[in-house]
A and B are shown apart, each in its own frame.
Chain A
C-alpha cells in the first residue's frame, strides 16, 4: 500500500460552550457565572449546554435542571433560543468563508475548513485563523470563544481542536502526531466505543500508538473496512474530505434527538417518542427530496449521565457510539427509502435490539447516506419465475404515495394532524428544537 501522510491543510473550528456563550453574549449579567441552557425551564428539563464556568463546577450536558441545580447550586438557567444561535453561527461562518472557498458547516457550532493551497504551512494558517478569531470577537461578540485545530486530516484537526478548551489553538503535524496520540485514550477516537475497545484489546491494542503501528492487514481481517478507517485516522491518512457549503446545503444526514424525561419512561412512551422523532426526520428529508441509504438509532440509558465530561455537546456523545450506557445501531436499506413505513419500521427494529425496557434518557434518529431519487424504479420482479404483472415494485410505490399524502395533510393542518397509532397521546414530547447537527437556516452573507 502506497499511502502517505496527507499533505492537506485542514482546520476545525469549534465554538466553546456555544449556546451558553451566546446567551452570555446577549446578556452580560450572565457572564462569568455558571449557566445552564436547557430545553425547558422545568426541573425535569434537560441541560443542553453548560457555560465554561458551570462545567468547571461539574455541570454536565444531559443532566436534568434538578440534578444540575443540586450539583451547582449557584447556577442560573435559561431556556434555549435557537434563532439567537443561528444568527451568531451565520456571522461566524461568514467570517470563516473569507479564509477559503471550502468550508463545511459541520454543525451549528463547528466547521471544517480546507485551507490547502490558500496558506503555505500550518503556521500561516494559524495566523489567519487567529485573525478570524479576533474578528469573531470584534464583529460578532466579545464573549465568544472558539478552539481551533489544524492538521493534515479532518480527524486530526478535530482531535486538535478538542485538546485545548476554551480558546485553544493546536497544530498536529507529523512531528508531534505520536506524542499527541500517546496522550489520548482509545475512545477519544470517533468510532471507538467500549465495544470496539474490548475487541481491540483482545488483539493486543491498548493505546492509539499501538493501533497506529499495528499491521493494517491484520486489523482489516479483524475489523473489516472499519479497521482500515481506524488505522488510517491515527496514521494521518485522509478518509473523508471537507464537503463545501455551496449555498444550498445538501445535508449529509437528517436527524432528531431528544433528552427523554422520566415522564416518558413512566408512561411507557419510549417507542412512541422514537416514532415521532423518526417521523420528524423523515418529513424533513422528504421535504428536501432525498432518500436515506441508512438509518441510525441511538439510545442513552439512565445510570450515570451517559455523557462524558470533556465533550460539550449532545452530538458529541451521540456521534461517539457507546460514549454512554446504551448504544447506537444502524440498518442499511436494501434500497434507499423515504416513506414513513420503511423508516419507522427500521427504527422500531433497531430500538428493539437496543432497548429492553430500561429507563431511557436520550433518543436519537439519524437518516444518512442521503441521495436524490435516481428516477429509476426497481424492476424487482423481472426474471423472477412468478413475475408480477407490474414491472416495478408496487408496494414500495404505495408506501411512498401514502407518506407523501400524509405530508401534504401535515403541511396544511400541522405536524400532529396525522400520525402513527403508537404516537397517540404523546402530547408535547419531543417538540421541534434546535439540534447540534442542524445547520439549516444558517445563512452566509
Chain B
C-alpha cells in the first residue's frame, strides 16, 4: 500500500490556529501542495523525537517526518489510490 521513500525534502510550513501545518513540499524537483493534514503524532526513535504529519493532496497520501533533534524533514512514505 505504502511505498517507502525516505528522502530529505524542502518544506514550507505555517504556524496557525495553534498548530503547525506543512503547506507545500518539494521532492525530486516537483512541488506538492498539501490539501489536508489528516493526523499528527510523534514517535521516539531511540532518543530522537520525530513528529509525523500524515497529509494528502488530491491524488496521494504522504507521511512527512520532522526530526525535532535535527530540525530536518523527510518524506518517508507515499500512498496512492
Contact = CB atoms under 8 A, between A and B. Distances in A.
Contacts of B68: none
A83 interface: yes
A22 B1 contact: no
A403 interface: no
Nearest to B2: A78
Contacts of B61: 26-30
A76 interface: yes
Given A26-B38, A26-B63, A78-B2, 18 more contacts: A25-B54, A27-B38, A28-B56, A29-B61, A30-B61, A76-B1, A77-B1, A83-B42, A83-B44, A84-B41, A84-B52, A86-B41, A87-B39, A87-B41, A88-B39, A88-B41, A141-B38, A141-B39
B71 interface: no
A28 B1 contact: no
Contacts of B40: 87
Contacts of A28: 36, 38, 56, 61
Given A87-B41, A87-B42, A88-B39, A26 B2 contact: no
A26 B39 contact: yes
B79 A29 contact: yes
B74 to A, nearest CB: 16
A26 B64 CA distance: 11
B39 A30 contact: no
A141 B52 CA distance: 15
Contacts of B42: 83, 87
By Cβ-Cβ distance, the 9 closest A-B pairs, closest first, are A87-B41, A26-B54, A27-B61, A26-B39, A83-B43, A29-B81, A28-B56, A76-B1, A29-B61
Nearest to B55: A26
Contacts of A141: 38-39
A27 B56 contact: yes
Interface string A19-43: 0001001111110000000000000
Given A76-B1, A77-B1, A25 B38 contact: yes
Residue of A22, A27, A30, A83 with most chain B CB atoms under a 10 A cut-off: A27
Contacts, number: 49
B60 interface: yes
For chain B, which range describes its interface: under 10, 10 to 19, 20 to 34, or 35 or more residues? 10 to 19
B7 interface: no
9 contacts: A27-B2, A27-B56, A29-B56, A29-B61, A29-B79, A29-B80, A30-B79, A87-B42, A141-B38
Contacts of A29: 56, 60-61, 79-81
Contacts of A88: 39, 41
**Prevailing SS type, chain A contact patch:** helix
A239 to B, nearest CB: 37
Contacts of A84: 39, 41, 52
Contacts of B81: 29
Given A27-B54, A27-B61, A29-B56, A78 B39 contact: no
Nearest to B56: A28
B39 A25 contact: yes
Contacts of B80: 29
A84 B63 CA distance: 12
Interface string B40-66: 111110000000101010001101000
A76 B41 CA distance: 23
A30 B61 CA distance: 9
Interface in A173-204: none
Name the residue among B38, B40, B56 with the largest chain A CB count within 10 angstroms. B38
Interface in B10-55: 36, 38-44, 52, 54
A28 B38 CA distance: 8
A151 to B, nearest CB: 32
A83 B63 CA distance: 14
A27 B2 CA distance: 10
A30 B39 CA distance: 14
Interface string A63-89: 000000000000011100001101110
